[in-house]
Structure 1
Amino acid sequence: MRLTEFKALTFDCYGTLIDWEAGIAAGLSKLAARLPEPLSRDRILEAHARHESHQQVLTPDMPYNRLLQVVYKRLAEEWGLAYTWEEALAYGQSVGDWPAFPDSASTLQYLKKYFKLVIVSNVDNESFEVSNRKLDVEFDAIVTAEDVGSYKPSRRNFEYLFDVLSSLGVKKEESLHIADSNYHDLQPAAEVGLRSCWIYRRFEQRGFGATVKTLTEPSVDFKFTSMAQLVKAHHDELANG
């Protein structure tokens, strides 16, 4: 299988193109600083992942910026810390402050020359609009959890994606899904027969960070540790015919 065989690339955004772990850690830093005994960055991210995934199951149609407000409240309560609702509101709006990975914008601009690019993300439209400015590319379509009314790993999000791809003249087998999270993306992609590529951003770190732990390694067609590696592989395929 070759990257050049595909017509469209579909992307998870947060964790793959946007460094959500850096954004989450920064957004929770003042709250976590009130703890009598400090928690490691990974412990903070893991607690966030637990509350976020639970809330997404309970309230699948809640927009992500509002869902983050609830996550902030749940974390403060779990840690026994006083908080204000203004702090929770600010955390919900912090997605726009989350930084892009250094290789995201340039690699997307390269890939845009060869593929249709589609976002399928667990986010609200307002938050993604701000993040998209950091990615500096025009996507052919944007699918958000707010559009679908559910959060990945729900199959609904991928079924919705397939309808969007069809409207772009792309069949499921002509698209490659690119993501970091096994739980949110790679595992459900395999279940619905969607080819996938793992951008393993945490390859030098232990644990699962802000992503829910899964018991098995992702079953994928391609694996890279950065978007830059993916672009190099595509460039090499073109060069070698």
Structure 2
Amino acid sequence: MRKGLPEFKYLTFDVVGTLIDFEGGLKDCLAGMAAEAGVEIDGEEALTLYRAARYSDDAGLFPDDLVRVYLAIAPKLGLPAERKYGERLRDSAKSWKGFSDSAEALARLATNYRLVAMTNARRWAFDFFAKELGNPFYAAFTADDTGTEKPDPAFFEKVFDFVASEGNSKDDILHVAQSQYHDIGISKKLGITNCWIERRHAQKGYGGTIEPVEFTKPDYHFTSMAGLADAVAVAPS
């Protein structure tokens, strides 16, 4: 049987895609460049091109890697293939918005749990994301802190070690994320209870996130962070 929501001490979160609308941020920035260049782009097509370029063998850390990604996809979108535009796409991360329900839901959840961020983004970008979300996190782990990226189990092990240093275990964690590939599949394999936030429930495909080899059925499933917060509020203690 899965554990009840009130039984956890920690909620660990994927950030980019779960709490921060990176797809919207990317599309808005690219659309602005397209308008300046006098061309039109399809947002979903741009995300498909982004996904293919982002998850290549020569990928770097996120979001610094957006410079390389932009130069790879710009010709296919009719955009100028100049580094300054790639840097503009990278720097747009500083102003990406949280989903409309993210900050409020996190504030509500912080009254019941220790919130821990687990992001493949670099620390400099996470600092902007955390501020956008109202700085709700008890602790945070970035690609800079772990030296790796999810779905590498080593990333999760860093968090397990932190929780153990506080006298707790991975059984006290509910991992919350939208990415089947980066989070839901591996958390299941590692024996962590997980919660899938299906942000793209009203859209086809995986957008800017790599498609998993196989779908993993989550322990909990909501289409928004508000849904999770509401479920916690009514869960019997």
Deviation at residue 65 of structure 1 after TM alignment:
3.1
Distance 2:234 2:166 in 1: 27
Deviation at 1:164, TM superposition (A): 2.1
Q: Distance in 2 between matches of 1:217 and 1:44?
A: 24
Q: Which residue is 2:4 aligned to?
A: 2
Quick one: distance in 2 between partners of 1:165 and 1:2?
Answer: 19
Distance 1:5 1:97 in 2: 35
What's the offset of the Cα at 1:31? 4.4
Which amino acid in the other structure matches residue 58 of structure 2? L
After superposition, the C-alpha distances for 1:37-82 in whole angstroms (9 at most, x for unaligned) are x54322211211121122xx535xx442321111111112444643
How many aligned positions are there?
Answer: 234
Cα 1:30–1:106, aligned 2, differ >3 Å: closer, same or farther?
closer
Give the secondary-structure state (helix, strand or coil) at the position aligned to 2:135.
Answer: coil
The superposition leaves residues 78-111 of structure 1 with CA deviations (integer Å, 9 ceiling, x where unpaired) of 4464332211111111112111111111111111
Cα drift, residue 202 of structure 1: 0.8
Q: Residue 46 of structure 2 contacts residue 77 of structure 2 at CA under 8 Å; is this kept in 1?
A: no
**Structure 2 residue aligned with 1:150:** 148
Counterpart for residue 22 of structure 2: 20
Mapping of 1:8-157 within 5 angstroms?
8-32=10-34, 34=37, 38-54=40-56, 57-59=57-59, 62-79=60-77, 81-157=79-155
**Offset, 1:169:** 3.1
CA distance in 1, matches of 2:127, 2:177: 19
TM-score relative to the length of structure 2:
0.91
5+ long unaligned stretches in structure 1: none
Select which of 173, 179, 182 maps to 1:181.
179
Amino acid of the structure 2 residue aligned with 1:124: R
Q: Equivalents in 1 of 2:20, 2:79: separation in Å?
A: 29
Identity %: 33
Contact 2:185-2:215 at 8 Å conserved across structures? no
Residues 8, 170 of structure 1: 8 Å contact kept: no
Residues 6-27 of structure 1: CA deviation (Å, up to 9, x unaligned):
1100000011111111011112
- Measured in 1, the distance between the counterparts of 2:160 and 2:54 equals 26
Q: Which runs of 5+ in 2 are unaligned?
A: none
Deviation at 1:217, TM superposition (A): 2.6
- Distance in 1 (CA, whole Å) between partners of 2:49 and 2:105 is 32
2:38 and 2:212 map into 1 onto residues whose CA distance is 28
Please report the TM-score for the alignment, with normalisation by the length of structure 1.
0.89
SS of the counterpart of 1:210?
coil
